[in-house]
Structure 1
């Protein structure tokens, strides 16, 4: 029996650099003699890649798209809260003014 035949019989030892496949036999052995088919891998050299290609354009238009999709969820409650707070501040200023104290002096 040749050593390569033992290695290709699905034992626990890896078959070498080019013979390990992702079809695992057991949890500790992520390489087996079963060849994986139908997986095609393409690579692009790192010096041919442009990691920031279109980043500024995508940032502007993606931000606008996300804003437009969400504005109706937060703008009406924010406007209502601003109106209520503005009313409460003005009412408090009036009640603590000379005219407000004179108007509501006998109440409470």
Structure 2
């Protein structure tokens, strides 16, 4: 468990606080800044889809080398082995290997 912060744990309030304790007259606070959200930023839906598509393309295209090349090599080995197996189990493959004569 995280220990509480000293300024938040003192009951009567810290000496160097921006606001005073309950019931004291309100003084003008310093250092408080209010931010607002622009109306065009509040509508995130239309921007979200376009941003998602372009960001997805950017990330996938940057990583494509790391999965397209190994996949291509693996698929090439798979198709070569499948064709070779089909040839070796065919009649022409048995005759070529000399296994037809016992």
Report the TM-score, using the length of structure 2 for normalisation. 0.61
Partner of 1:95: 88
CA RMSD of aligned residues (A): 3.3
Q: Secondary structure at the match of 2:43?
A: coil
Gaps of 5+ in 1: 1-22
Gaps of 5+ in 2: 20-29
Report the TM-score, using the length of structure 1 for normalisation. 0.58
Q: Moved runs in structure 1, 4+ residues, more than 4 A?
A: 26-29, 36-39
Distance change >3 Å, CA 82–CA 51, structure 1 → 2: same
Compare the two structures and name the one with the higher helix fraction.
Answer: 2
Distance change >3 Å, CA 54–CA 101, structure 1 → 2: same
Aligned residues: 81
